[in-house]
A = this chain, B = another copy of it.
Amino acid sequence: MSNHAFDLDTLLPGTRFKAGPMTLTEEAIIAFAKEFDPQPFHTDPKAAAASFFGGHAASGWQTAAVTMRMLVDSATPFAAGAIGLEIGLSWPKPVRPGDTLSVEMEILDIRPSSKAGRKVATLKTTTTNQNGEVVQVMTSKNILFGNGPAPGEAI
């Protein structure tokens, strides 16, 4: 994991990172919904047309999960490990089949942890679709692991 180490001291409030993009197919939306959120507006495009969403929409939990995946795959501080302590989530617009999502994360606050190689950060993570519409806003307090031992290495 050492190759993923990240110099946390370069991170300041206002620092921003980008992650993604990732496209959600209809098949992926249905598969996730069948496993984790089998409500008809997520599992059944036809039923969804007459629903609150006015069309097929991904589970918000899928938006949260793929946002996490994009962050882990990116060159953000998450690459050396991040653990969420408190999360706030909202989904201002539905995610539709074929939407291509991308992520921007901003550091709102960052301070030393009592343990070396760790910081505690408050992050705002915004997920948008291909039209720049915000589909998820996440605020989170996280432990970030940086240029000390990464999670998974002996400490």
Contact = CB atoms under 8 A, between A and B. Distances in A.
Nearest to A73: B38
B52 A61 contact: no
19 contacts: A1-B47, A37-B65, A38-B72, A39-B78, A39-B82, A39-B152, A40-B151, A41-B81, A41-B151, A47-B152, A48-B152, A52-B145, A60-B87, A61-B61, A61-B64, A65-B65, A86-B89, A87-B89, A88-B88
Interface of A: 1, 35-41, 44, 47-48, 50-53, 59-61, 64-66, 68-69, 72-73, 78, 81-91, 143, 145, 150-155
Contacts of A88: 86-89
Nearest to A61: B65
B61 A68 contact: yes
A110 B105 CA distance: 34
